[in-house]
Structure 1
């Protein structure tokens, strides 16, 4: 069992700058606040934290509930909190950071706002603080400070380093040293000595008594010996069987106990840390399956199988794998007989459908399903991509035209450029237009002006080199997202940012589409190879997936978190999946 000791640092407190540090045997907190609302925020925080320090948590569910309450009531306060249970540390930060030092390795567990958990080991050091510390002291400098390997020396060195920075910013730090708890060793029980005289008396008396009895029963001696031998064999056999069964029962009870602990902990972490929750349930399942193979007792097998069923049900819940039926959300025939969709574009309530076959654009209100044709004819013939922003719909043919919903006209707003080579998609964001050019491995940008749109600009910074062959499905939420041969590409301020999904058991297929925007919390991936939509947060942490058995061709999709629907376009029908 692991235990923890802590040291704290608080600096540069003033009337407008407040800090707080606290700890008990398994709970640690560092918090700081400043500005006009410092009094209200500090009082609200103390009201929440003091009961916890007086009465420590006993289970993960309590820590999870406390973290949610903290986020709901005072989301602006800077804090980093931790809860140590057995050999696992559960952490939650708001505008904060938690570092871990293990041997010669040092780095953050989590930064910003969110939660995480992980196994800790004896001699680990944890540092809980706000983001301010990292602006004053670099990570390599912090690592050097922790190289001392001693709690008091580390705290002293860190305090001196903060003072030396002379930035006069309020800082709260809690440093935790994890160590192995010292178990009390009980002395072995002392058995009462038997005196030599007593042993001699016993050794002399017992043979005499036995011999006397044998002489008195000489005639049936053979039968007695046979009977005693048979009885001894039976009793020995029963004893061995009983001991073996008892050993199996004890072993199964231990495995079930450990699996039960993992199961309960995993279910408590579903919302706080779904990846850790799946790890715990999978570990419990593996242990029980191994024990099921080893156990020969049918009653114990039944008991293990029953608990395995419970864990399998939990795995479905934790994995959030929803098998759905594709129900019709809207039929395009209601707008125009024989209408078929090729592309979708969504802005708030306005869903725009491109019908390339009939050279038409349709507009559907996803709130009340009111629908109409907004453009048709030669102006939008050969449209390859469509985007929408506000009341304006943009289509790309060999030029870019704008269809205004209120006027149903399609004038050219951007003429064809000799810089374009192969435009694969177009998106509107914040009034500006972005073009994915897979022929030039480039993204072009047109800024909105008072008179229309400015000249062609590069989105990528000058030294960005990227192969966009086969890329498609441009989407923007401030960052620019693409899919390419089963991968997701992310670009921020013109530079590529590494992004990958974590916690997904079945890998993504090769044919992906992506959807997100600046009003959407999550990333949605249409995986047509596996007939599913996979959901992750914007950091790449897997959240859920929705799969279907209907064998239909999905042309495009969008997601509205307002009406909680995934909308899938297949020829003349838009299907809807409810978000959980």
Structure 2
């Protein structure tokens, strides 16, 4: 137990008001900063002195110039009833306002907490498939708010319901999925090319697979059928690259300082980093154009093809993109297929269709082609490979296997008979029915 003292400035501000209700109201505002789980009440009384009936009983002391006064007997007769009336007035008005304001502050705090928790709960729900760690952090913060708030009787029921919802959400987020016990067959061991090769990305063009090793600053080619390999180019600047793409006889590299092109065994920069870029997590080429997925700005940028290279950057999507994580990816077959949490089909800048692939995570690789029946996915969060039918949205193939959570890239053979998934040291395969 203990006492809580209002600040002097609050008291002085309150006493500057002439109306008793205003004084009580100002003082009660100070109670909102009182310690949690504390109770408070206040009493305001007003003493009025009739100065006209005051008589001086003592002569002036010229040394200290202090006057002494006494009250006439008639004043004493009505002073006590007046004080009693004012005392009752203080209890009925001042005390009432203190209690009411304290209760109102508590109720207001409870409602504000409920609103904050609801917002955090919805935010965590939205991130559940995109970023589990972030969703857990936000849901835990919401739980802490509930625990540390003293709810009134009116809001306690809502707080209990929210706590139950948060408990269920966190249970689902923190439940570890059992790891698959099977492995995929090996398509090719990258050690056969170079014992130090570490794969960062791969892409398929015709009968050739292109491999990016940014640790060692090299790009390789590998035949789909004969498995013959060659070094396309080795250069220090390739160490900056994170992804590659092949179109029109040229290899395009996305690097931390822009885009590079490999043509005729030469590396040259073709696009500088633009001020409008946020977080470029993937890119793809179509009909000579480049499309950049920017999750930082929730935008797909387009660099249109020109005779000399690429034109000025422009925003491709004409409406807001669905919310995605930094693990999102895109593939193009005239439409842009965007995968993260769900599979989205976008056409001419607009969302055309949404495929609710069951439990699809936020870290997803996607691959398709114009003449393919399916869109192929590697759901890294759930260590599985998926084939989703473009027409029906149904999952035609689902394969869980060890190592898919560390996949670096996904490609499918031109005849759509085998999918190849690249890890850091090998290429795995899924035979397609």
Give the TM-score, by structure 2 length. Answer: 0.54
Cα gap change, 1:543/1:446 in structure 2, threshold over 3 Å: closer, same or farther? Answer: same
Report what 2:328 is aligned to.
Answer: 472
Find the aligned partners of 2:237 and 2:186 in 1 and give their Cα distance.
Answer: 31
After superposition, the C-alpha distances for 1:299-326 in whole angstroms (9 at most, x for unaligned) are: xxxxxxxxxxxxxxxxxxxxxxxx9752
Using the TM superposition, give the Cα deviation of residue 475 of structure 1 relative to its aligned residue in structure 2, in angstroms.
1.0
How far 1:468 moved relative to its partner? Answer: 4.1
CA drift at 1:464: 3.5
SS in 2 for 1:380: helix
Query: CA separation of 1:324/1:516 partners in 2, compared to 1, >3 Å: closer, same or farther?
Result: farther
Structure 1 counterpart SS, 2:251: strand
Tell me, in whole angstroms, the C-alpha distance in 2 between the residues paired with 1:469 and 1:548: 23
Deviation at 1:448, TM superposition (A): 1.5
Per the alignment, residue 32 of structure 2 pairs with none
Post-superposition offset of 1:360: 1.3
C-alpha distance in 1 between matches for 2:381 and 2:313: 36
Q: Deviations over 1:464-501 (max 9, x none)?
A: 455444352121111112222x2222211101123114
- 8 Å Cα contact 2:383-2:405 kept in structure 1: no
Q: Tell me the distance in 1 between the aligned counterparts of 2:350 and 2:248.
A: 28
What is the Cα deviation at residue 541 of structure 1? 2.2
CA distance in 2: counterparts of 1:553 and 1:388, whole angstroms: 23
Alpha-carbon distance change, 442 to 410 in structure 1, aligned in 2, over 3 angstroms: same
> Which residue among 329, 353, 359 is the counterpart of 2:217?
359
Q: Does 1:413 align with 2:270?
A: yes
Q: Partners in 2 of 1:390 and 1:350 — Cα distance?
A: 14
Q: How far, CA to CA, are the matches of 1:534 and 1:563 in structure 2?
A: 14
Please list, as runs of the form range in 1=range in 2, the aligned pairs for 1:209-288 lying within 5 A after superposition.
none
1:491 is aligned to 2:343: no
Distance 2:291 2:360 in 1: 27
Number of the residue aligned with 1:381: 239
Contact 1:363–1:372 (8 Å) recurs in 2: yes
1:344 matches 2:196: no
Shift, 1:537, TM fit: 1.2
* Cα RMSD for the two superposed structures: 2.4
Runs of 5+ consecutive residues of structure 2 not aligned to the other structure: 1-180
Question: Larger Rg: 1 or 2?
Answer: 2
Q: Which has the higher strand share?
A: 1
Q: Which residue of 2 aligns with 1:553?
A: 406
Distance 1:444 1:549, change over 3 A: closer
Give the distance between the partners of 2:248 and 2:208, measured in 1 at CA. Answer: 8
Shift, 1:400, TM fit = 0.9
C-alpha distance in structure 2 between counterparts of 1:552 and 1:467, whole Å: 22
Q: How does 1:73-152 map to 2 (within 5 A)?
A: none
- What is the match of residue 562 of structure 1? 415
**How far apart are residue 508 of structure 1 and its match?**
3.1
Alignment coverage as a number of residue pairs:
252
Question: For the Cα contact (< 8 Å) 1:359–1:377, is it kept in 2?
Answer: yes
Q: 1:551 to 1:513 in 2, by over 3 A?
A: closer
Cα pair distance change 1:328/1:552, threshold 3 Å: farther
How far apart, CA to CA, are the structure 1 residues paired with 2:332 and 2:404? Answer: 30
Higher relative contact order (CA 8 A, sep 6+): 2
Matches within 5 A, 1:284-303: none
For structure 1, the 5+ residue unaligned runs are 1-322
Cα distance in 1 for residues equivalent to 2:261 and 2:404: 36
Q: 1:549 to 1:331 in 2, by over 3 A?
A: closer
Residue aligning to 1:403: 262
Bigger mean CA offset, 567-576 vs 468-477? 468-477
CA shift for structure 1 position 382: 1.3
Q: 1:544 aligns with which of 373, 397, 404?
A: 397
Distance 1:494 1:471, change over 3 A: farther
Residue aligned with 1:525, SS:
strand
